[in-house]
Structure 1
Amino acid sequence: MTPGHGTASAIQREWQAFWLALGFLTRIPMVMRIDYSQSLMNQSSVYFPLVGLLLGALYAGLFSLLALAWGPLVCLLLVLVFHLWITGAFHEDGLADSIDALGGGYTVEARLRIMKDRRVGTYGSVALILALALKAALLMAVEPVWLALLVTPCAARLTPLLLMRAMVYVTDPDKSKSRPVASSFPAVRLVIAASFVLLVCVILAPWHLFLVPLTVIAVGAVALCWGLNLRHTLGGYTGDALGASVVFTELILLLGLAI
């Protein structure tokens, strides 16, 4: 294999990894053929923050467009509806399942069994309602709103990568949809993802002077606190727990931005 062919092959694989990440996290259809494999899915994880940034751009753009006709609250609620649709409520589903499991299970086996149940219980329902209500309320308090809509989806998708790197996967891998992103996550790709998030925050810092430290605190605090809780209650992480970490990070970051 010539060096040029090897470089082209590597670029093609990264391009496929990006589209795989986009298809995994959203309802946006993949416009190219993907040579799917578990290693490619592992490789795609580094693009989670980039997918988050693209989603954030859609949210900010939609809000600006809707603001031409309606007030802020109506616009934000419509943006949240769009978010739930385009992501398939992927992370919110993880939040509800995680809270149901940790609230209703008293052993690791019971918690994992509850987490796999498609039904949503009281704990999960309450957590989901409160999370969405708090998100809407915080977005109403943030200025400028477009900045929060743009940066939070990007920054929040770094937290699962930290958890994947630091912890072990505990759900039956043959039955879990998150198995492809649970097997391995190289440190170098984590550094790349973290650098990308920080670069985005630095570029946007003129609109909020404390954006960079707030992002570091939000991602670090959720990764540490949620990670320690998962280690204690499950012995590791699950795909649902990763989704919950995204929601938690968004809320913590919004709390900081809304001060």
Structure 2
Amino acid sequence: MKIAWKHEWQAFWLCMGFISRIPMLARIDYSQQLMNHSSMYFPLAGLVLGALYALVYQALMALFPLVVAVIGVVIVHLWLTGAFHEDGLADAVDALGGGFTVDKRLSIMKDSRIGTYGTVALVGALALKVALLVELAPLPVWAVLLFTPALARMTPLFLMAVMPYVTESDTSKTKPVANTFPMPRLAVATVFSVLLTGAGVCWLPELMMAFVVSTTLVGVLWGWQLHRALGGYTGDALGASIVLTELSLLALLVAL
């Protein structure tokens, strides 16, 4: 039992270190299995990030207007995560927009340079995120910032469960996370997200509907696009799915 708890404790902190700049407060006995198991903690790690965003938002709102506070939170998010998922969005859109074969698309994703498609997608995503958060101001924005980063991180878990990983490079940081993703751990992450959503409806009554619809829509539509264009998913595609799910979630909360 002690060994199991130690494994899970290390898996959680490995997940935090993978998706953010937050220092890992645990000694990690790294292995591919541990890296693979750490993906179960994507939603919990997102909740930790969301708590930080909510605190920053509340502090900024005490000093600045709404728009300034929202932009400040987005900047903190980009710094705290190293723009990890936004980089995935830019690379994925560049590849799908500029490549005409699977090999060419995968080659574009590996290129560190950003192209026109990726630039447009990145600027559009950040601008839309700010606009949606400002529009949500009648609701408690701190609650939106708390819950959405956690819920948006369920989509990549679903994609990993039903699609093959198509990047063969041994240097890929996502490969150990994606290979043979255990279904029981997907179930645990799903239950956690559902319970979290249930808690969130106290402040955001439409959160459950928005979560189910956004995760399903992005999972199906983005998954279909990846299947058609790549025959599977890559690490960049998973990062893009988080950004797309979060934007869809915010848009549905505004609409509802």
Distance 1:210 1:156 in 2: 15
Alignment match, 1:189: 185
Alignment match, 2:6: 12
1:222 lines up with 2:225 in the alignment:
no
Alignment match, 1:3: none
1:209 lines up with 2:205 in the alignment:
yes
Preserved CA contact (<8 Å) 1:48 1:158: yes
Residue 204 of structure 1: CA displacement?
Answer: 1.4
Q: 1:241 aligns with which of 232, 237, 253?
A: 237
Distance 1:39 1:136 in 2: 38
Alignment match, 1:118: 112
**Structure 2 counterpart SS, 1:128:** helix
Preserved CA contact (<8 Å) 1:103 1:123: yes
Alignment match, 1:73: 67
Q: 2:77 aligns with which of 74, 79, 83?
A: 83
Alignment match, 2:37: 43
Preserved CA contact (<8 Å) 1:160 1:242: yes
Alignment match, 2:147: 151
1:96 lines up with 2:90 in the alignment:
yes
The answer for unaligned runs of 5 or more in structure 1 is: 1-6
Question: What do residues 44-77 of structure 1 show as CA deviations (whole Å, max 9, x unaligned)?
Answer: 0000000000100100111001111000100011
What amino acid sits opposite 2:246 in the alignment? E
Residue 173 of structure 1: CA displacement?
Answer: 3.6
1:57 lines up with 2:51 in the alignment:
yes
Alignment match, 2:19: 25
What amino acid sits opposite 2:222 in the alignment? W
Identity of aligned residues (%): 56
Distance 2:8 2:226 in 1: 31
Question: Scaled by the length of structure 2, what TM-score is found?
Answer: 0.97
**Structure 1 counterpart SS, 2:221:** helix
Distance 2:108 2:16 in 1: 28
Question: Scaled by the length of structure 1, what TM-score is found?
Answer: 0.96
1:232 lines up with 2:211 in the alignment:
no
Moved over 3 A (4+): none
Preserved CA contact (<8 Å) 1:158 1:194: yes
**Structure 1 counterpart SS, 2:226:** helix
Across the aligned residues of Structure 1 and Structure 2, the Cα RMSD in angstroms comes to 0.7
Preserved CA contact (<8 Å) 1:148 1:257: no
What amino acid sits opposite 2:133 in the alignment? L
